[in-house]
Structure 1
Amino acid sequence: MNTGKLFVIPSLFSIKSDKNLIPSYIINNLNKIDEFIVENEKKSRAFLRKILSVKSEDNFIFHTIGKHSNSENLNKILNNCHKGINIGLLSDLGCPSIADPGSNVVQTAHLNNIKVIPLIGPSSIFLALMASGLNGQNFTFHGYLPVNNIDLQEKIKKIEKKSINSSQTQIFIETPFRNNKVFSFLTKHLRNSTKLCIAKNITLDDEVIFTQKVSQWKKNNYNFNKKLCVFLLNGGND
């Protein structure tokens, strides 16, 4: 009997995104899969309904996981691969396992000798880096910055210093309703000469990706509230 595989499947950033952003070979692979591990079943059903014109999502089996899914439950789900069943790992948006709880699923698959197949698709982090003009040879991703104001200020100062000393691009994301607060802290606590890129709503109709020095950002009022943003900064001479 053939062993099933774990397919790591990128999804759209928004249900409003153009479905053609998902390559046809992903759709071909989706036709081999009837069982999925997801963050949110409703969002995953909507994504599959949008990109699959023939296959009905009503026939799919969904296993919902979160940040703290235990290994016993994951082992039980992934054991189906040893029965010849392919399983797809879907994130709510973008690439699973990157700023996403899916890494636990992939790790468990490796521990169970299940072949993992990552599929190519949209990643806001890498698209933002590509379009930023900042150092793409040396960069780090921080996920989310601290919520506490003092910790946030200290973190901003720390990563800016790192970027100055090593010309390393610093990348992070934020919960959409906190974007304006983070932007305010960045313009207040970064050096005027530090380059800051903000990539807003990548792949959507109102996409904006712009890089300029902090001194330039301070000259105008911006509203990033409830938008999907990736922030990148570099204070070095890249």
Structure 2
Amino acid sequence: MPGTLYLIPNTLGDTEALSHVIPEHVQALTASLGYFVAENAKTARAFLKLVNTQHPLARPLQEIRIDELNVNTPAQALAALLEPLQAGQDAGLLSEAGVPAVADPGADLVRLAHQHGIPVRPLVGPSSLLLSVMASGLNGQSFAFNGYLPTDAAARAKRLKELEARSRQDKQTQLFIETPYRNAAMLDALLASCAGNTLICVATDISLPSESIRTQSSAQWKAQLAAGKTPDFHKKPTVFLLLAQ
């Protein structure tokens, strides 16, 4: 029988409070595994060291196999990552932050696992996208994640107009993210593109001590920035949400 592919959540950056965001049973299961597929091996080892402080690893860290799966992994290399599972070994799929296979290259491996009849078990943990929807006060009945928007200013403005129009038509919350050092540029683009009554949420450092989540209209954001009150989100992971009225 094949092994099970466990989808293991990582923290969203707070390495001091593992038990606050990763359930005990998830930590214990993680500690029992000897094979991981991770977006980044260095990050995965750091996470396993953190788990080891609460639940001793079943084998020394240097004996645990960690294969990488990231945006540069060719599609033809995925099958080899599943070979230990096809031989009966359990494995963990681990993202750099949050839950694997959501805004994460691990989704392709999960799909292939299903095709090969390998059981897939998602484990409970923090998702910045879901947590931001929960805390935004925007429509949680209908929402869509749009990943990264174009970096070109004109293309980005066009895309924001399209998302606002879709949000207005379908009453649907639109989510997207940005490279952290471009957060200010994204907020400026949002305010320049959206109507004054469109609601915008800026959710930064979710689940960390520095967490900040604020929802207000585009007009209110403009007034805040004009008063010199810029969100403290430079180089910090941030989720942007909008809901057109």
The Cα of 1:73 is off from its aligned counterpart by 2.2
Per-residue CA shift, 1:59-82, capped at 9, x if unaligned? 210101222423432212212112
The Cα of 1:28 is off from its aligned counterpart by 2.1
Match of 1:227 among 212, 215, 236: 236
The Cα of 1:124 is off from its aligned counterpart by 0.2
Q: How far apart in 1 are the matches of 2:52 and 2:15?
A: 15
Q: Name 1:29's counterpart in structure 2.
A: 29
* Matched positions, count: 235
The Cα of 1:188 is off from its aligned counterpart by 1.3
Q: Name 1:139's counterpart in structure 2.
A: 143
Task: Tell me the C-alpha RMSD between the 2 structures.
Answer: 1.3
Bigger mean CA deviation after superposition, 13-22 or 120-129: 13-22
Aligned ranges 1:80-95 → 2 under 5 Å:
80-95=84-99
Q: Name 2:210's counterpart in structure 1.
A: 206
Q: Name 1:12's counterpart in structure 2.
A: 11
Q: Give the SS at the match of 2:223.
A: coil
Q: How far apart in 1 are the matches of 2:167 and 2:202?
A: 16
The Cα of 1:196 is off from its aligned counterpart by 0.4
The Cα of 1:175 is off from its aligned counterpart by 0.8
Q: How far apart in 1 are the matches of 2:82 and 2:75?
A: 10
Aligned ranges 1:53-72 → 2 under 5 Å:
53=53, 54-55=56-57, 56-72=60-76
Q: How far apart in 1 are the matches of 2:75 and 2:234?
A: 37
The Cα of 1:166 is off from its aligned counterpart by 1.4
The Cα of 1:174 is off from its aligned counterpart by 0.9
Q: How far apart in 2 are the matches of 1:41 and 1:9?
A: 14
Q: How far apart in 2 are the matches of 1:203 and 1:80?
A: 34
| Structure 2, unpaired ranges of 5+ | none
Q: How far apart in 2 are the matches of 1:95 and 1:105?
A: 14
The aligned amino acid for 2:164 is: E
Q: Name 1:129's counterpart in structure 2.
A: 133
Aligned ranges 1:144-163 → 2 under 5 Å:
144-163=148-167
Per-residue CA shift, 1:142-162, capped at 9, x if unaligned? 011111111100001110011
Asked if 1 retains the 8 angstrom alpha-carbon contact of 2:39 and 2:94, the reply is yes
Per-residue CA shift, 1:71-113, capped at 9, x if unaligned? 4322122121122211110000011111110111101111111
Q: How far apart in 1 are the matches of 2:76 and 2:164?
A: 41
Q: Give the SS at the match of 1:31.
A: helix
- Does residue 109 of structure 2 align to residue 105 of structure 1? yes
Bigger mean CA deviation after superposition, 17-26 or 174-183: 17-26
Q: Give the SS at the match of 1:177.
A: helix
Percent sequence identity over matched residues?
Answer: 37
Q: Name 2:39's counterpart in structure 1.
A: 39
Q: How far apart in 1 are the matches of 2:81 and 2:192?
A: 48
The aligned amino acid for 1:225 is: H
Q: Give the SS at the match of 1:211.
A: strand
